[in-house]
Structure 1
Amino acid sequence: MASEQAPAVEMPATTFSKYTKRVMLKNILLRSDGGVALIGQRAVIGGWVKSSWEIKKQPVTPPQPPSTAPQVVSPKDVTCSEVLQSRIPFLRSIMKVFSGGEYRVREKLDVIVKKAPIPSVSILRVSDGSCVPSLQVLVDSALATPRQIMPTGTCVLIAGILQQPSVQGKHVVELQAEKIIYLGLVDESNYPLSKKRLPLESLRDCSHFRPRTTTVASIMRIHNALTWATHTFFQEHGFLHVQVPIITSTDSEGFSEKFIVTTLLSKGKKDDQISSIENDGISIESIRASIKEKSKKVEELSRTNSNKEALIAAEQDLKKTNELVSQLETRQKGKSGVTIETRKFDFSKDFFARQTYLTVCGRLHLESQACALGNVYSFGPRFQADKSESKKSLAETWMVDVEMAFSELEDAMDCANDFLKFVCKRIVEGCMEDLQFFLKRIDKAVMERLQFTISSSFERISYAEAIEVLRQVSGKRFHNKIEFGVSLTEEHESYLVDELYKKPVIIYNHPKGLKPFYVRLNDDGKTAATFNVILPKVGTVVRGSQSEERFNVLSSRMKELGLQKQQHEWYLDLRRHGSAKTSGFSLMIEPLVLYATGLNDVKDVVPFPRSFRRANN
């Protein structure tokens, strides 16, 4: 007798994502046929509801069989008198009279009949973040009630069969749900994305939810493409990826505002408490009144001597309150003109036993790696305490730092030029759906700008030439004065790339006073071997230079700027022992995302923006 075989388990024909056991929507919707070839196949999809509506089903009344015999009412069902009493009010009154008014008619009962909910179909637009388009999903009310599944933001994991759309629209395929595997409900009253088309400024207040919007999801995919393209470019050109420290004792720029890293602030909790009291508007008089009450409580507990623990706690509370009043009085005297001692930090008692900062730039540390490994790059967060509310300013930004041994300024400019062309090409090739979205919704020039960057040659001019060109401009009045030794503003840069040359511009050989201490001085003694790459719309995205390899010149430059030699002793060692010519650059990723999306504020293109007066999550 042949043994019975177990029935084969039918698996979805579409390809699962390996680690999540579901089909990514991009594998359905971004096919050349839009998913038509998958019709009839089963799939499991997961995502979040972006929009929805409900269609009521038409109730079907079962046909009644024709009656072939007269209906006979059984005596057990209803009596004749009950029929008469309920249907003929006049007879009911007569019967009451004949019965002497004692006959009571059985009152009619109010029966509440609960109507069964009308069957319906919930039509959902579901997105899983893998692409711009969403999938239309049909869910019968027998599987999940509309109230549960339709709210925007609801998380669903649904098994079903792909079919031709039953509702006319732009979709060429939809999923008919057969099973709800998982349902993550939403509190509509508190969910911030329940309102449609929130401005990007409002979305910054809920950074943890904003990737669920189409705009921010597209931004993150382009951001990801830039990151991947960055690693691809440098890996293909023989660079090694190395990490540089986020915490450093070296002032890498010499003139940047830095974040200090310390644990000493924990010792200043009393000052924080005083500031909190002042901000809350609590007066010294009210605290003194509370001291009197606390003193009475201490006296009472002392007399009774019944609860020693309560007495000790009351005495400590009174002592702290007295100290607080004393400090508040001293602080108020200081505000009235009396000098008060400023609390100073002894960094020798700090965690690192010296003053440390969050790094502004990684090129100094990267240079030590280049002097041993050749060509290297690093990709990570950099920090600058710039108290600016500019649309292009962030306190925490992601930066690509590049350093190449045995190279000079011209080599670094060539590398930056090739890198920008490469990443722009990768965005065009890999993010077409997202670019089309920004083309329609944000900036109609997005594609043209990227294509032009890929195909055009960058204009190269010296800083002195740029100043001269701007001085000769007629019919245009700049707000800032144009003279040698002054930084070019966004207004100047915009005119050069958007109006004059109408393409990316590389400006090199800036005045030495505008650049960090480690850049190589040119033979004229006035300028340094530096360059900036300026792109249309976003301005400067790359800052590069050739490093000063001459020990004496570097030492003189540090002394001129008043930098602590001890702090940079390790950097000087690179000049003492086996010095090599090096050059490189730093590129900020966020302005490049602005360039590819057409947006105007860098705070909209990072997952969790950190800027002046803003760190919500």
Structure 2
Amino acid sequence: MAPKEEATNAKNVATQHSQEEQLLHQLPKPNIQNSKYTKRAVLKTLLNRDDGGFALVGERVVVGGWVKSSKETRVPIFRSFLKLFGVGGGGNGGKDSPLSFGQRVQQQPVFSTVTLQVSDGSCVASLQVIVDSTLAPPGRIMPSGTCILVEGVIQQATTSGKHTIELKAEKVLHLGVVEDHEKYPLSKKRLPLHTLRNWAHFRPRTTTVASMARIRHELTHGTHTFFQNNGFLYVQVPIITTTDSDEFSNKFQVTTLLSNKATEEETSTKASGVSLESIKASLKEKINRIEELKRTDSNREALLAAVQDHKKTNELALELEAEEKREKAKANALIKPDRLNFLDDFFSCQAFLTVSGRLHLESYACALGNVYSFGPRFKASTSQSTRHVSEMWTVEAEMAFAELEEAMNCATDLLKHLCKWVMQHCHEDMKFVLKRVDQNIALRLQSVQSTEFEKISYYKAIDVLKQVKDKNFTTNVEWGVPLTEEHESYLADEVYKKPVIIYDHPKEVKPFYVRQNDDGKTVAAFDVIVPKVGAVIRGSQNEERIKMLNIRIEEQGLSKDQYEWYLDLRRYGTAKHAGFSLNFDLVVLMATGISDIRDVIPFQRSFGKINN
């Protein structure tokens, strides 16, 4: 490029910067709202503005977050002094030129600036923070995961790219260093989600899991908003219960009897006051003693005695180790309930972690009208399905004076509302999900929101599946067999290609409390199946006729005494009522396009896996 063209370009750039500065002075300075309780600016209030934060240039703020990436720029101190005084910009490179002088002082101490990408978890974007080495040693602030709280001034980004603004730090108010960078799991780039499950306490620091958490938060907000706006009352139902509301599921036993039994069976080792730890410490001392005798000219008898002493101590350690294993095995051994006397238990009866809260919720619906609950539900399933874990959050609703059709309508409206809500309130996170996870997620959410759900009976579902010739199902399709994940997904994904509601299931495959239809074979139950996700909602009209309910309890072989309180609801002022359970974790799966439910749950509990 000719010198004249270079001068023209430089003039144009200077003019542009001058115009930007004039514009900044003309714009009204917005007030930066600090977090009420932490006195810092939350990054989303700076970065999620329409102008990218441009109008905030010149404002002083305090920000805090965790370092995602970093870069250091090093400049020799003497050279920086020369630049400060306007020396070193040119010269012919001769012996006494500033350039050759700078080369001669490269061994001098180095001044550096560190560019940090900092995230506080409030949004997808990160803030670029510039920190001089005079404020903090680069080696302490640069490692990924470092927590930093700084005060500084917002300025225009000095580098071209995705950043509109950056923060020039003037004070480092707090520094949470990473003690061993090599052991910090997130120091590696782009770990797969299944690997991140091993560090559930660090997962939310990643962009993907942080987005999942924010989307999950908004879906929770959207759920409560839907019910509050439609006249439902929020009710908390118990997690510990004596009622078996789903006889088809394995339940977690709640008992103190096993811990009491382990206490009673304390071994003689503990009674004697000898611990394995003290024996192992003694072994180390004896090894050191043997090594010392070998290095010196001690007599052979002393060395042999020390070796023999070490051998006996080692045998004792092995014996104690074996006994500890036997103790743990006894404490963890499964004891059949029929061998336990539950009258001696904490609740004086057999208790479980609840599988469903609908029965308890029904008692409040029969007094307050429309009610809902939101909380964890538990199934001791050994399934390795990507759609189920042992602890799942569930939204449950119950409506008095409602029948099956009303429950289906409410469930459909809730699902459509959540699809619309997440698209409206998670704009930045959904953009990230579209780019990094699933390019078709927006179209699928829009489809669920705008499409009329296909309604088919269980009879028709079986008939459609029996006509399928190009696929062999793992479980044969027959009347009376519960539809599996495979069956349900095929109907939604391949046959109808939209959400499907399957209703009127055989009474044998649904809980005892579901209302029996006039045909005597089916019950008023429904399942909502969503493409790519499966059964998101299961609901029913509940049996209000006490005679029919008694028959169903007997058919299922359940203890009538256990359900006397539930039968009371029919004896004293009953009403027709219906409701449903929405698997909230599957809704998060639906909204994000993630393939495994374990990756959208903050702390997943599944068969053989509980990290923290």
| TM-score relative to the length of structure 2 | 0.79
CA distance in 1, matches of 2:224, 2:251: 28
The partner residue of 2:364 within 351, 362, 369 is: 369
Report deviation, 1:363.
0.2
For 1:585 and 1:372, the matched residues in 2 are separated by: 18
1:529 to 511, 524, 533: 524
Matches within 5 A, 1:468-479: 468-479=463-474
Q: Give the Cα–Cα distance (whole angstroms) in 2 for the partners of residues 469 and 224 of structure 1.
A: 38
Match of 1:169 in 2: 161
Asked if residue 37 in structure 1 is aligned to residue 30 in structure 2, the reply is no
Shift of 1:13: 4.6
2:8 maps to: none
- Distance, in Å, in 2 between the alignment partners of 1:116 and 1:429 is 56
What is the Cα deviation at residue 17 of structure 1? 1.2
1:333-372 superposed matches below 5 A: 344-372=339-367
CA distance in 2, matches of 1:177, 1:498: 53
> Using the alignment, how far apart are the partners of 1:214 and 1:514 within structure 2?
42
Paired residue type of 2:510: K
Tell me if the contact between 1:14 and 1:42 (Cα under 8 Å) persists in the aligned partners. no
Post-superposition offset of 1:115: 6.3
Cross-structure match for 2:170: 178
Match of 2:606, SS state, is coil
Structure 2: distance between partners of 1:400 and 1:376: 11
Identity of aligned residues (%): 58
2:35 is matched with which residue: 17, 20, 23? 17
1:506 aligns with 2:508: no
- Would the aligned equivalents of 1:13 and 1:41 in 2 still touch at CA under 8 Å? no
The answer to whether the Cα contact below 8 Å between 2:30 and 2:56 also exists between their aligned partners in 1 is: no
Contact kept in structure 2, 1:405 and 1:581, CA below 8 Å: yes
Query: Which residue type is aligned with residue 545 of structure 1?
Result: S
What is residue 313 of structure 1 aligned with on the other side? Answer: none
1:599 Cα deviation from its structure 2 partner: 0.9
Q: Deviations over 1:183-225 (max 9, x none)?
A: 1111213222111111111111111111000010000001101
Q: Which residue of 2 aligns with 1:252?
A: 245
Report how far residue 497 of structure 1 moved.
Answer: 1.2
C-alpha contact (below 8 Å) 2:41/2:61 kept by paired residues: yes
**Is the 2:76–2:108 Cα contact (8 Å) retained in structure 1?**
no
| CA deviation after TM superposition for structure 1 residue 342, in Å | 10
Once structures 1 and 2 are overlaid, which stretch shifts more, 352-361 or 433-442? 433-442
Q: Residues 341, 547 of structure 1: CA spacing in aligned structure 2 closer, same or farther, 3 A cutoff?
A: closer
Check whether the contact 1:261–1:355 (CA below 8 A) recurs between aligned residues: yes
Q: CA deviation at 1:443?
A: 1.0
Higher helix share: 2
- The residue number in structure 2 matching 1:157 is 149
* CA deviation map 1:471-499 (0-9, x unaligned): 22343333321111112222222221112
Residues 469 and 453 of structure 1: CA distance in aligned 2, closer, same or farther (over 3 Å): same
Q: Contact 1:13–1:42 at 8 Å: present in 2 too?
A: no
Q: What stretches of structure 2 of length at least 5 have no aligned partner?
A: 1-28, 86-104, 270-315
The amino acid across from 1:171 in the alignment is H
Letter in 2 for 1:162: I
C-alpha distance in structure 2 between counterparts of 1:170 and 1:514, whole Å = 55
Residues 511 and 213 of structure 1: CA distance in aligned 2, closer, same or farther (over 3 Å): same
Of 406, 409, 413, the match for 1:414: 409
Unaligned runs of 5+ in 1: 1-10, 65-112, 277-317, 333-339
Cα deviation code 1:255-313 (max 9, x no counterpart):
21000110011133279889x9xxxxxxxxxxxxxxxxxxxxxxxxxxxxxxxxxxxxx
1: CA distance, partners of 2:528 / 2:402: 18
From the superposition, tell whether residues 485 and 165 of structure 1 become closer, same or farther in structure 2 (CA, over 3 Å). Answer: same
Secondary structure (helix, strand or coil) at the match of 2:505 reads coil
- In structure 1, the residue matched to 2:46 is 28
Instruction: Give 1:380 shift.
Output: 0.6
Matched-pair contact (CA < 8 Å) for 2:76–2:109:
no
Residue of structure 2 equivalent to 1:583: 578
Name 1:121's counterpart in structure 2. 113
Are 1:231 and 2:224 an aligned pair? yes
**Partner residue of 1:454 out of 449, 452, 468:** 449
CA distance in 2, matches of 1:341, 1:226: 41
Matched position secondary structure for 2:110? coil
Which residue type is aligned with residue 463 of structure 1? Y
Aligned-pair CA distance for 1:33:
1.1
Alignment of 1:42-441 (within 5 A): 42-57=60-75, 59-61=77-79, 117-187=109-179, 188-269=181-262, 344-441=339-436
CA-based RMSD of the aligned residues comes to 2.7
Q: How many residues align?
A: 505
Alpha-carbon deviation of 1:341?
Answer: 11
